[in-house]
Each structure stands twice: as C-alpha cells, then as structure tokens.
Amino acid sequence: MLQTMTQETRAGDLAYADARDRLEAEIERFSRQSGQTTLEVPRLNFEKGETRFEFLPEDLPEEKILESLRVIKNHIEHIRIHTLDPGYVVFQSLGPNLYDTKHFLSGIKFKFVSITNNFRVEASRSGNFNESELQTCIELFQLFNPGKKESDPTKKLEQLGVTVFPPVQTESNGSSENPWGPIAGYDSIKREVEECLLLPARHMSVFQGVAQLTRGDGAANLPGAILFEGPPGVGKTTIARLAAQAAGLPLIYVPVENILSKFYGQSAQNLAMIFDTAALFERGILFLDEIDALATSRESGLFEATRRVLSVLLRKIDGLDRTGGLLTVGATNRAEDLDHALLSRFDQILRFPLPNEQERASIFQSYAAHIAPEALGILGRESDGLSGRTIQDICESAERRWARALIEKKQALSAPEAEVYIRVLREKKAGML
Ligand SMILES: Nc1ncnc2c1ncn2[C@@H]1O[C@H](COP(=O)(O)OP(=O)(O)OP(=O)(O)O)[C@@H](O)[C@H]1O
Ligand SMILES: [Mg+2]
C-alpha cells in the first residue's frame, strides 16, 4: 500500500477556510482593543498538504522566545525543543499522547528565526491546525505586538471584564461596629468571615503572633482561598462585598461566567492576566463569582477550552502568596459539581444554607423595621424555603403596592401595614407552587 505523506485528520481539526476566518476576526478585534490600527494580519497558508502560519516581528529577543514557550505551553501539553541554535529555535508539539510514536515527529513546529536583522516567527504542520494550535498562533502574534501598555491595574482589569470596588473609608472601618448592614442571621458564617478576613485585615500582628507562639512560623493560619457555597440569593456576593468594605480592602470582582463567554477562546489567557494584574494590588479580595461556570466535573467531559481555563485557575490559586495580601474567594451554587482539583484548592468551604424560620423573620425585619414582632413571626413561619433575595423582593414589592395605594387614595405618607407583606408573601408562595 502506498504511504501517503499527508497527516491523518484529527478530531477537532479546523478546516483551512474556517481557521483563516477565525484568525482574521481575532486579529481585527485585537487591533481594535489594543489600539493598533496598522497591524498587518499574519499570513496563513495551506499548500501541499501543509498549514503554515507566519509573521515578521520587529525584533526577536531571547526573552520573547522564552515567553513564547510559555504561551505555547498554555495550550499544548507536550513540547520538545527541536533545535536550539543561535538565530534558529524550534519547538515541536509531541501530541497529546506521549506513547503514540507513530505521530511523534509530525506535531506542529514553532520556529523563531533571525537572520541579520530579519526576524520571522512561523508555525507549521502537515494537515490542518486544531483549535489550540490556531489559538497559540494568535497569542504568539499578540505577544509580539503588545500595543500600548495599560499601567493602571484597575483600568486593565476593567478591560478584562473585571470590576474593582475600591475600599471606602467609612466610620465603621477599624471599629467593632456591625459591618453586616442589612444581612440578618447567618451568625456562624459571619463569625468565620470575620476570623478569616476581617480581623486579619485589621490586626494581622495578633494572628502572626499566635502562629509564632504555637508553631514558630508566620501567618500560616490564614486561608489563601475560601469557597462560598449555597443556593441563589442567600447573600454570598453581598457578604463578600461587605467584608471587603469593612476590612478596607478593594474587592476585585471577577464574573467568571461573563469572562468565559465574553472572551471565548481567550479566556484562559485573560484569566491568567486577571490574576497577575490583581497581584499588583498590595492587598485585596479576589472574588470569583459563579465559578460553577467551570463546574461540570471531569467525568462529564470538559470542553477543551474550559479545561485550559481550569488549569490556569488551579495554577494561579496555588501560586498566590498567602502571606501576601490577596485572598481568593470563590462563590458557587453547586460545590458538588466542581472539579475536585479545584475544590481542593480552597482551604475552607463556607456553606450558606437557606435561612431558617428565625433568620427569615430577621430578614423581614431588616427590610421592614417597623413591623411588630407577631407579624414578623407569621412572615418568618410562612416563608419556608425562600432566600434572602426573595424576601427582599417581597418587601420591596409590598412597599410599591403600598405607595400605589397611597397615591390612588390620596392618603398621607405612612409605612406599609404588616398585612400587605403577608399578602404579598402568600401570593408569592402561591405563584411558586
Ligand atoms: N440574610 C440576609 N439578610 C438580608 N438580606 C439578604 C440576606 N440574604 C440575601 N439578602 C439579600 O438578597 C440579595 C441577593 O443576595 P446576593 O446577591 O448576595 O446572593 P448570592 O448568594 O450571591 O446569590 P447568587 O448565588 O444568585 O449569586 C441582596 O440584596 C442581599 O442583601
Ligand atoms: Mg452572587
């Protein structure tokens, strides 16, 4: 049988035309985002069964080649150095399976060539590129065309889809006043958060001193990462925000799900950049909201892109300096669906249950302070299964209804009667059945 020279097609290979369209679209978007309007789109050719990607950087210093290796490594698991000569460096992918010797030498090659003052970066393989290979090429191109640098970490984070809430200096900073605002109940959770986060922020020396006396080391008694777990609307996000505020720390709010969809294909790189940029803050809380977007435990077969994001996340959580000032807080509705490796990175898991009867009454009270205890008792009893968010909604809805009645009946201003809350609650419950 005749041996053909062309590579067998692999699952996940991109048709050449699709790859080129993707490349063009990505570079176009990148030029816009990085403010480089004159970027020349790198070449992508398919000739004689071989795909070739190429661009000519202005310069090719050694650090850039090393950084390139890091970029390649983010997407391609096994890499060997094919050639390491002055002016000619080649890295080659060994394919996902190291024991697959048949395709051992046919993996994509990344070449870095400098001849006098001419520089070239090239990637080629016989057959088509797959998603990761194309993505690597795009990121290499971006690496060599960084555009204008954003030096303000807050601005840079914003470009990455992250919101930074700066610490607000309030009266309660530094004092022992109740920092939890409207959040009623959840005393044990509040106490944990105070011990892991609030008090260390204010009295680090005491925590360090205790560790020194007991074990002779520094602040190793502080968690580096905490997971908030619980159903929707029980106050996870709010508690994180209030805690940051009371501790006088910026809250770096990362909506994981948004990042995944907004930066599809580039999420892993962006997430890595988010961590690196956040690390520029001396101290702060890095809040990863809705990490269930990364859930789907391993068995269910992760999307390749999701797996890349996950591996960045694992590495970055591990890499954060614990004595340093960045605490990672993750929030999820379903811890049991999270990848085990991810779950194990969290030193502590705080479970937020739905509020119990007494807590529900207190939540009603915190949004309707004027209601008498008996009515609060009824509201607490009858709101079984509702979250703080739903209770808040009920209270606001009762207020609107009351305001409307005042307007319609042209009555003087007064607070809503307890009956209105009870009625709205019952309607809500009936509607939920
Ligand atoms: N125990 C509580 N006391 C008072 N208000 C509460 C309580 N729990 C939740 N709320 C209110 O409900 C609203 C929603 O809370 P939050 O967004 O923090 O919930 P979450 O747990 O982050 O939900 P999700 O999982 O959907 O993100 C907030 O306005 C918050 O103030
Ligand atoms: Mg939330």
- DSSP string computed for 236-276: HHHHHHHHHHHHT--EEEEEHHHHHHHTTTTHHHHHHHHHH
Domain 16-144 coded CATH 3.30.420.40: no
pLDDT above 50: residue 3: no
For CATH 3.30.160.690, the residue range(s) in the chain are: 16-144
Q: How much is the pTM?
A: 0.68
- Ligand 1, atom 4: nearest CA belongs to which residue? 183
Q: Which atom of ligand 1 is nearest to the CA of 362?
A: 3
Task: Provide mean pLDDT across the span 34-44.
Answer: 82
Please state which of the ranges 171-185, 252-266, 273-287, 348-362 shows the lowest mean pLDDT.
171-185
For 279, the token pair is: 């690390």
- Mean pLDDT: which of 91-100, 248-257, 336-345 is highest? 248-257
From the CB of 309, is ligand 1 less than 6 Å away?
A: no
CA distance 359 to 76: 51
Q: Can you tell me which residue has the tokens 């520094």?
A: 218
pLDDT on residue 297: 46
Percent share of the chain, pLDDT over 90: 52
pLDDT on residue 218: 63
CATH of 153-351, one of 3.60.150.10, 3.40.190.10, 3.40.50.300, 3.10.450.50: 3.40.50.300
Backbone angles phi, psi at 139, to 5 degrees: -70, -30
Q: Which atom of ligand 1 is nearest to the CA of 240?
A: 18
pLDDT on residue 304: 67
- Ligand 1, atom 2: nearest CA belongs to which residue? 183
- The pLDDT tens digits for 207-245 are 888 888 888 776 567 788 899 999 999 999 999 999 999
Task: Report the chain's mean pLDDT, rounded to a whole number.
Answer: 86
Task: Provide mean pLDDT across the span 176-196.
Answer: 87
From the CB of 235, is ligand 1 less than 6 Å away?
A: yes
Tell me the C-alpha to C-alpha distance, in Å, between residue 283 and each of 166, 328, 382: 11, 11, 43
Judge whether 324 and 357 are in contact, CB under 8 Å.
Answer: no
pLDDT above 80: residue 433: no
Angle, in degrees to the nearest 10, between helices 267-278 and 304-319: 10
How many CB atoms within 10 Å of residue 411?
10
- Ligand 1, atom 29: nearest CA belongs to which residue? 389
CATH class, domain 357-432, is: mainly alpha
pLDDT on residue 321: 52
Structure-model confidence comparison of residues 403 and 149, the more confident one: 403
For CATH 1.10.8, the residue range(s) in the chain are: 357-432
Give residues with Cβ within 8 angstroms of 164, minimum separation 6. 153, 154, 157, 158, 250, 251, 252, 253
**Residue 119 CA to chain centroid, in angstroms?**
36
CA distance 421 to 425: 6
Confidence band of 315 (pLDDT split at 50, 70, 90) = confident
Structure-model confidence comparison of residues 341 and 406, the more confident one: 406
